[in-house]
Amino acid sequence: MTATMMDVPLTLDWIADRAERYMAGVEIVSRRPDKSLHRTSFGSVIQRAKRLARGLIAGGIKKGDRVATLMWNHAEHLEAYFGIPLAGATLHTLNLRLHPDEISYIARDAGDRWLIVDESLHQYCDKLTYKFEKVIVVGRDYEQFIESCPAEGPLPVLDERGELGMCYTSGTTGKPKGVVYSHRSTILHSLVAALPDSLDLRRTDTLLPVVPMFHVNAWGLPFIAAMVGTKLVMPGPHLDPPSLLELLQNEKVTVAAGVPTIWIGIRDLLDKQKYNLQPGLRMIVGGSAAPEQLIRDFDRHDMYLLHAWGMTETSPIGSISRLPPELAKLDEATRYRMRAKQGLPPPLVDLRVRNEAGDVPHDDTTSGEVLIRGPWIAGSYVGGHSPERWTSDGFFRTGDVARVDAYGFVQLTDRIADLIKSGGEWIASAALEHALMGHPCVREAAVIGVAHPKWSERPLAAVVLKEGKQCTAEDLRAHLQGKFAKFWVPDAFVFVEAIPRTSAGKFKKTALREQFKDWKWT
């Protein structure tokens, strides 16, 4: 006997039609370059997205064609998020923080045809060696284009396994590689990410996505918000702590999402100045691991930091650190250590930590590489690059090193590329960084391996102090002693004004290694 259920394709038009029909009045607030606020609604955004879709088709865009965006977070970008896929084309969000040569390489590799770009970013187009067939500028001719598009008319039937969007990896281990998300993978990711034990987004929430819409589809948050009817507050280009805190306060935001760098700046300002924020404001943090001290600091301000982990290849939700009820009885220090871990995979995701002996025991000691598979995990790269990243049994090799505790919680300890090998033993740089950022004087810390004549490599720590704080290498060394084996403790500490960062806000350790490649050990 066969099942008697309808075979309904999982495509983005289900979310778009639902938002237009039932969430039409839900507000979308966008901060403009001049800092003014623009207010619209899901009903208007979806109607305009459908006009955009018809205009793209009328202009010659066909199924599978790539249409790129180069924009900040705002309502027009959200229109492109829906309008491009509804036309049967592929939404390709370009990273505006990359060098023009990198953007040109990515656009050429993707085969982008059209570009929708913010007026404030239009100068990039003159620097690109890649030339788009058509460029539409938001703030210049975008409105005229939308007005010229048909308000009514059929849209193409979508294939759930067809392309919806694509992003490129940051290229930290070679050339950037393309990942294409299907309609099916995006719908399933949105459904599971919205669950209470996942990101727990609701119609009663107001969401501020600080994470850029060009980073893994803003972690899928725009699609989730449209699906459940969450009010969106878009920060535009103004990502400094005072501007963000003003939005958090005035728009009564209940959920925000961004990388640790953003939250470190927010914390530092909150320690100096009072803001009237929503009690229990939830902050989703991803992109890189958040130090335990940052979680503690926000608890002081009645703000809850929720740790999540993922990658471009995982759409991106791969794990979420929510403590189950049975762990509520644990002592405070243990609960904080658990919250600083990357947690458990959500439903439909299979996550393993494996080394040469097989899946590691849940002893919170044995390390291995994180492997992951599921319906929104990439099965290949565009062009078939790096096939070695997938195991013979169908898992994606993340390149992250981790261990697993008795509760199944995953704790990332480092990237394979960032491990330091000293005297034949491995040192996890990320663990040292988190401990250093627990020192009351330290704002940020990055640890790298530097060539050593005797030990092959030894750890060197680059440290940024908090404003007005003083600290010595001896103070930091004493802070680490007793927490780690003696050979783990860095042999050198250098105090810097800032740590280089990638376009995703992560520490750019390749730049640090280059900066200190000629370090002389004494």
d(CA 82, CA 84): 6
Q: Catalytic pick from 119, 426, 514, 521?
A: 426
Q: Buried (b) or exposed (e) across 302-332, using 16+ Cβ within 10 A? A: ebbbbbbbbbbbbbbbbbbbbbeeeeeeeee
Which pair of tokens denotes residue 98? 């990359």
Q: Catalytic pick from 169, 186, 254, 502?
A: 169
CB-facing half-sphere around the CA of 514: CA atoms within 13 A? 6
CB-facing half-sphere around the CA of 517: CA atoms within 13 A? 6
d(CA 128, CA 210): 27
Per DSSP, helices labelled H in 467-508 are: 473-480
426 is catalytic: yes
| Eight-state DSSP code of residue 501 | B
313 is catalytic: yes
SS3 for 389? helix
Q: Backbone phi, then psi, for 67, in 5-degree steps?
A: -115, 120
Residues 6+ apart with CB under 8 A from 65: 89, 90, 113, 114
Residue showing tokens 């509760």: 407
| Eight-state DSSP code of residue 17 | H
Using CB atoms within 10 Å of the CB of residue 418, give its burial: 0 to 12 exposed, 13 to 18 middle, 19+ buried: buried
Q: Catalytic pick from 79, 102, 313, 444?
A: 313
Residues 6+ apart with CB under 8 A from 213: 69, 71, 72, 73, 77, 78, 81, 93, 222
Q: Catalytic pick from 421, 469, 483, 517?
A: 421
d(CA 469, CA 466): 5
Residues with active-site annotation: 169, 313, 421, 426
